[in-house]
Amino acid sequence: MTIQIGQALPDLPIAVINGEADIQRTTTAPLFAERNVVLFAVPGAFTPTCSERHMPGYVRHFDAFKARGTEVYCLAVNDAYVMKAWALSQHVPAGLKLLADGNGAFTKALGLEMDGSAYGMGMRSRRFALYAENGVVKSLHVESPGELRVSTAEAMLDTLSQ
């Protein structure tokens, strides 16, 4: 079942990449506690739409989120080393955290996994964005397959303005 507005995010192990910093292993609860966070998820690092459109929008608008007191995290079912290389290739600013959900446990707990086996990708995350306050989901925007509209940086900035 997909996580719903008003529910707390699950607390599971995750690897965090913060800009060019080393990989840190933690759990999700402290990442979301006592802060406002936009979490956007991509099906995979280095995939075309994710690398050419989705991530670049959040990099470009990162300061606008910071000005609103909102942190930005990117989630993918990839290993931490791939996510770190992707962060470097995308010129991700320090403070925009990448969350490597290598085994997909957090994604599955959110109920937002997809089967990409037909494309040789295995289990991945659906493309989505959510806004959470102190670990509680306040808005959730899940893309239809093949689309990039409701989870963009611009769409989430609009959500925060409402």
Give the residue numbers marked as catalytic.
Answer: 50
Residue 63: φ, ψ to 5°: -65, -30
**Tokens (6 digits) for 85:** 């290389």
Residue 85 in 3-state DSSP? helix
- Exposure string over 115-129, b if 16+ CB within 10 A, otherwise e: ebeeeeeeebbbbbb
Q: How far is CA 18 from CA 37, 68, 81, in A?
A: 14, 19, 12
Query: 158: how many CB neighbours lie within 10 A of its CB?
Result: 11
Give dist(CA 36, CA 59) in Å, integer: 18
Place of tokens 């991530």: 55
